[in-house]
Chain A
Amino acid sequence: MNLLEISDLAVSVGNQPILRGIDLNVCAGEVHAIMGPNGSGKSTLANVIAGREDYQIDRGRIALEGQEITTLSPEERAHRGLFLAFQYPIEIPGVSNMEFLKAAVDSQARAAGDPEITAVDFMQMARIAAEQLGLNPEFLKRGVNEGFSGGEKKRNEILQMLILKPKVSILDETDSGLDIDALRIVANGISAFTNTTNAVVLVTHYQRLLDHIEPDFVHVIANGSIVRSGDHSLALELEEKGYSWLEND
């Protein structure tokens, strides 16, 4: 079944076209990688799917589980199971990670008409997720991304994913800023999370994350279009040759 379906999506900022007709189908149980040079539109795609308001959608549609979501607010998309791991995680001083996550989990429960999880159960769940990512549980008491190192911020994004259990996770450059060990921990966390009912889209410039999480499909974006799709071998080819040979096609 198609979890995420994007067809002929064209997006601009101001009058500057960024995406020029993207088609992408992501089914349950799949891992996709979206690669491309800097400025190709990868991050724009990720942000537009999540509902960021700074972009103008010129045409095309984005559907989650068959339902059009382009007119929905970011929180409504989140309630339907869409998750974006930010390339540059945002700091919210004074608001603890725990408080923030609980608010997010409660919002989702309310939207789904489910009862709110108790504080005790929530703590338990958060602790387990933190340990899985090699984070000290004390980490949960700190302000959201406040004074976190680059690696901690990225791990915090994955922590949120593990707790919110989205259907479609878009991970925007989650590998950047991670050292080798942290990369392995994060990759293991993501791998353990994937199953036959959810899907992960990895947006990345480099192929090194893909050494740890083997993608089912690799797409290359250049100048706002998907110029090539293939399997993992495409990523390896890019690693060897760089992006310029694609752009010159």
Chain B
Amino acid sequence: MAGTDNNSLDGLVGGDYAAGFVTDIEADTLPPGLDEDVVRFISARKDEPEWLTQWRLDAYHGWLDMVEPRWGQVQFPAIDYQSISYYSAPSGDQPKTLDEVDPEILATYEKLGIPLHEQAALAGVAETQQRPPVAVDAVFDSVSIGTTFKETLREAGVIFCSFAEAVHDHPDLVRKYLGSVVPRGDNFFAALNSAVFSDGSFVYVPENTRCPMELSTYFRINERNTGQFERTLIIAERGAYVSYLEGCTAPMRDENQLHAAVVELIALDDAEIKYSTVQNWYPGDEDGRGGIYNFVTKRGVCRGDRSKISWTQVETGSAITWKYPSVVLRGDDSVGQFYSVALTNNHQQADTGTKMVHLGKNTRSTIISKGISAGQSSNAYRGLVRMNPGAEKARNYTQCDSLLIGEKCAAHTFPYIESRRPDGIVEHEATTSRVSDDQLFLCRQRGIDPEKAVSMIVNGFCKDVFRELPMEFAVEAGKLLEVSLEGAVG
């Protein structure tokens, strides 16, 4: 008796967004609007060298001639780019150490569960042994308010600092690599970011160095009517290894806020970069009011032979997610990976996936995408696998699965596969399924309540991706799914 009636699955919606509070602090915020002066202001405020100011202005002029992309399977009203404030930072001088940071801001991160005190983090280690410390760069609206474990990292030769600091302290590296993976004119949002980016993280891991701890950046939007435009640049020299985590939250507000970031990764010979994201921007309310527009360009280039770049993302937040973390496999024998869980509920929309561009010989890529749609949401996987003529014996494997919860949601799969190699192998599979009444009944018959049952089933569905996350992130991701699904089943 496989029931087709789905009433039992409707109605568990409206979970609490725990990160939805506002921090009440004084902020210096630019009035809304965008022109050359705004670009110059941001650059001047950060005391940037002339070349960078010019770089931003070129990007700005290029952007003026571009149009907003509308090919995604997402719908949103026209964005008024003149109504957004492009810079907001806590008032006063930039704190030099974490001790100088406004206690309200420190409390914010504490509330979000982000350890900003090295002592506290270290004490945590002693207690549980299994939790290695994580170095954190905390970005609050447009600025980085502090980075932990800098000294420890410096001893290992690893540079981990805010982007603004990197511009001052490591100008040659920034100049060499900025825009080398995502050019200024790459796309509309990347161009906008290149013009107005405010802060972000910079990571440099020298030759044959294994970064001694996980690095992470925690992005927080706090101010009203602002956009967040951060820029992250990670360079792994020959034989280097780094694992980097990124988390994001924002207060609950009725209006939409724009987040347009650019992330560039560069891996040289034998280097490996593992980049994990748990994206939990405010998703809007049950009726689709408010929430973040998350329009992000992330790309890595495996420049060296045998290099490896791996993207893992858990996307549960944002009103709209539009991002395709990609890998350009230039070096021979290089490896690209993309593991993704994207969950949409209520009126959320996601159009996300990856691009794997095979240029080098024996390059390999793996794509595992798990999309979960609940409520009236829309969830699309969009991907590109391209085997260029030089990509001798390149291989790709792609698995895209969708899980549908509720009768009004939508799930889409748009994989582009292009091959110009006679010896390349590309395999793509996609399936859709739903949380079946049978599965739910089995769990309930064994005494498990429906909410727990659904979250267990969804977590099981995502297992192949969670496995790729660092341990504590995997636990957090599982909990996040549970919260995001609240109300999706009844």
Residues of chain A touching chain B, judged by Cβ–Cβ distance below 8 Å, are 13, 43-44, 47, 50-55, 73-75, 77-79, 83-84, 86, 89-95, 99-101, 103-104, 107-108, 111, 143-144, 160, 164
Q: Which of A78, A83, A89, A111 contacts B444 (CB 8 A)?
A: A78
Complex-state Cα separation, A144 to B463, whole angstroms: 13
B67 within 8 A of A: no
Q: Which of B1, B441, B446, B461 contacts A100 (CB 8 A)?
A: B446
Kindly list chain B residues whose C-beta atoms are within 8 Å of the C-beta of A92: 439, 442-443, 456-457, 460
B449 within 8 A of A: yes
Kindly list chain A residues whose C-beta atoms are within 8 Å of the C-beta of B446: 78, 100-101, 103-104, 107, 160, 164
- A95 lies within 8 A of B459 (CB): yes
Contact code string B425-445 (vs A, CB < 8 Å = 1, else 0): 000000000001111011111
- A51 lies within 8 A of B447 (CB): no
- B460 lies within 8 A of A95 (CB): yes
Q: Which residue of B lies closest to A105 (CB)?
A: B447
- B442 lies within 8 A of A78 (CB): no
Tell which of B5, B441, B459 has the most Cβ of chain A within 10 Å: B441
Complex-state Cα separation, A104 to B449, whole angstroms: 9
Q: Which of B438, B450, B463 contacts A94 (CB 8 A)?
A: B463
| With A13-B1, A53-B3, A54-B3 as contacts: A90 and B438 at CB distance below 8 Å | yes
Q: Which residue of B lies closest to A104 (CB)?
A: B446
| With A78-B445, A104-B448, A164-B447 as contacts: A94 and B439 at CB distance below 8 Å | no
Kindly list chain A residues whose C-beta atoms are within 8 Å of the C-beta of B439: 90-92
Known: A93-B460, A107-B449. 5 other contacts (CB 8 A): A53-B5, A77-B445, A92-B443, A94-B461, A95-B456
Complex-state Cα separation, A99 to B5, whole angstroms: 28
Q: Which residue of B lies closest to A44 (CB)?
A: B1
- A47 lies within 8 A of B460 (CB): no
| With A51-B445, A54-B3, A107-B447 as contacts: A94 and B464 at CB distance below 8 Å | yes
Kindly list chain B residues whose C-beta atoms are within 8 Å of the C-beta of A103: 443, 446, 448, 452, 456
- B447 lies within 8 A of A90 (CB): no
- A73 lies within 8 A of B444 (CB): yes
Kindly list chain B residues whose C-beta atoms are within 8 Å of the C-beta of A94: 459-464
Q: Which residue of A lies closest to B2 (CB)?
A: A54
- B1 lies within 8 A of A54 (CB): yes
Complex-state Cα separation, A52 to B8, whole angstroms: 11
How far, in Å, is A92 (CB) from chain B's closest CB?
5
Complex-state Cα separation, A166 to B457, whole angstroms: 24
Kindly list chain A residues whose C-beta atoms are within 8 Å of the C-beta of B459: 94-95
Complex-state Cα separation, A143 to B463, whole angstroms: 11
- B461 lies within 8 A of A107 (CB): no
How far, in Å, is A15 (CB) from chain B's closest CB?
15
Complex-state Cα separation, A43 to B8, whole angstroms: 21
Complex-state Cα separation, A44 to B447, whole angstroms: 20
Kindly list chain B residues whose C-beta atoms are within 8 Å of the C-beta of A101: 446
How far, in Å, is A19 (CB) from chain B's closest CB?
13
How far, in Å, is B1 (CB) from chain A's closest CB?
5
How far, in Å, is A97 (CB) from chain B's closest CB?
11
Instruction: Enumerate 19 A-B pairs (CB-CB under 8 Å) in ascending A order.
Output: A51-B444, A51-B445, A52-B441, A74-B441, A77-B445, A90-B436, A90-B438, A92-B456, A94-B461, A95-B460, A99-B456, A100-B443, A103-B448, A103-B452, A103-B456, A107-B446, A107-B447, A107-B452, A160-B446
Complex-state Cα separation, A99 to B441, whole angstroms: 17
How far, in Å, is B458 (CB) from chain A's closest CB?
9
Kindly list chain B residues whose C-beta atoms are within 8 Å of the C-beta of A164: 446-447
Complex-state Cα separation, A50 to B447, whole angstroms: 11
Q: Which residue of A lies closest to B461 (CB)?
A: A94
- B447 lies within 8 A of A54 (CB): no
